[in-house]
């Protein structure tokens, strides 16, 4: 089942010292909130790795993909309530794909070679705004507008990690409900209720370490749908700079297997990781 057990958090004591947040006995909880400044640009180095192993009717196929990119957020405006209008863009990308029957294909936007078939329009999406979001200081998306067609990210909007309202201590948890629509070609299309659970695991030297996991609340009774749902079920760790008010890194991953998605002897394994880190300006 795609159900995650509940975790048990510890007890936090924290204090403000010299402008940074350090663990200390008897201190008050801290407030986690975004602090963006109009005109600033925030680059993120993003690395995505995925392995898909499929076995159907005794035939096994493996597909490996690796994507490295530099994504940038530009803060267009910040209102009096701290709500920020942000535009996102991708400035460079390097992609590698390996299949067990067709070998390796690699393309980098830094090279002069044209992109491979299926990626011809990718250069047009580089260096231009892809979406515009308005988020509040807790990371809630107040408004979103996609400026170019793009698939929804499996692990949510880059950098927009929802934060709790009010001050929290280590061990505090907060949850965010989501609805995920899964579609199988030629098959059923269903919506699944999921829940992201966040937990403040640690707070030291001004960095809050947050754990996140996903729980599927809707029963999954079709292996085909479960196979499609795999990439939307992930766990991870987020590091948040309390004083600067932003995510400095995020690492999420999944490694799961589904049996019977295409016949009794079929199986699918999906293993993936996504790492994001603040890049030098």
pLDDT digit string, tens, across residues 213-253: 999 999 998 898 999 898 888 899 999 999 999 999 999 99
Considering the domain boundaries, does residue 131 fall inside one? yes
Residue 67 pLDDT: 95
Q: How far apart are CA 90 and CA 267, in angstroms?
A: 35
**Strand partners of residue 72:** 43, 89
The rounded percent of the chain whose pLDDT value lies above 90 is 65
Tell whether 3 is covered by a domain. Answer: no
Residue 8, in any domain of the structure: no
Indicate whether 4 belongs to any domain. Answer: no
pLDDT tens across 175-211, in order?
999 898 888 777 778 899 999 999 999 999 999 999 9
User: Average of pLDDT values for 152-161?
Assistant: 63
CATH of the domain at 221: 2.30.230
Tell whether 6 is covered by a domain.
no
Rounded Cα distance, 60 and 266, in Å: 9
Asked, for residue 238, whether it belongs to a domain, the answer is yes
Beta-strand ranges (E) seen in the chain are 14-17, 20-23, 30-31, 41-56, 59-78, 84-99, 103-108, 131-135, 141-146, 167-168, 173-183, 189-204, 207-216, 235-241, 246-259, 267-278
pLDDT interval class at 121 (50, 70, 90): confident
DSSP single-letter state for residue 152: P
Q: How high is the pLDDT of residue 27?
A: 44
Interatomic CA distance for residues 160 and 153, integer angstroms: 12
Is 58 part of a structural domain of the chain? yes
Half-sphere exposure of 156 (CA within 13 A, CB side): 28
CB 202 within 8 A of CB 209: yes
**DSSP H helical segments within 36-145, as ranges?**
none
- Is residue 112 a part of any domain in this protein? yes
Q: How much is the pLDDT for 97? A: 93
**218, 58, 35: which is closest to 136 by C-alpha?**
35
Does the pLDDT at position 159 exceed 80? no
Are 270 and 49 in contact, with CB atoms under 8 Å apart?
Answer: no
pLDDT recorded at residue 232: 85
Tell whether the model's pLDDT for residue 28 goes beyond 60. Answer: yes
Average pLDDT, the chain: 86
Q: Give the number of domains in the chain.
A: 1
Q: Which domain does 160 fall in, by range? A: 14-278
Q: Output the pLDDT for position 127.
A: 93
Burial category of 215 from C-beta neighbours within 10 Å (exposed 0-12, middle 13-18, buried 19 and up): middle
């Amino acid at each position: 089942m795609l159900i995650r057990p509940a975790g048990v958090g510890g007890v936090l004591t924290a204090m403000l010292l010299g402008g940074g947040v350090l663990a200390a006995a008897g201190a008050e909880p801290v407030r986690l909130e975004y602090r963006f400044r109009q005109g600033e640009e925030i680059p993120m180095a993003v690395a995505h790795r995925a392995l898909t192993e499929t076995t159907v009717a005794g035939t096994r196929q493996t597909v490996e993909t690796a994507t490295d990119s530099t994504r940038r957020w530009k803060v267009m405006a910040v209102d009096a309530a701290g709500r920020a209008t942000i535009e996102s863009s991708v400035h460079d990308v390097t992609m590698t794909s390996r299949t067990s029957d067709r070998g390796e294909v690699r393309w980098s936007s830094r090279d002069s070679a044209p992109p491979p078939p299926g990626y011809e329009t990718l250069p047009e999406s580089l260096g231009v705004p892809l979406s515009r979001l308005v988020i509040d200081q807790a990371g809630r998306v107040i408004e979103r507008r996609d400026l170019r067609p793009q698939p929804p990210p499996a692990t949510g909007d880059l950098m927009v990690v929802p934060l709790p309202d009010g001050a929290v201590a280590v061990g505090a948890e907060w949850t965010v409900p989501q609805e995920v629509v899964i579609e199988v070609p030629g098959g059923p299309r269903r919506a699944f209720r999921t829940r992201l659970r966040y937990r403040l695991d640690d707070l030291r030297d001004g960095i809050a370490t947050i754990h996140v996991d996903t729980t599927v609340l809707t029963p999954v009774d079709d292996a085909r749908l479960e196979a499609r749902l795999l990439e939307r079920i992930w766990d991870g760790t987020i590091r948040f700079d309390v004083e600067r008010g932003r995510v400095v890194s995020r690492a999420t991953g999944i490694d799961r297997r589904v049996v019977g998605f295409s016949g009794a002897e079929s199986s699918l394994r999906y293993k993936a990781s996504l790492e994001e880190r603040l890049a030098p300006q």
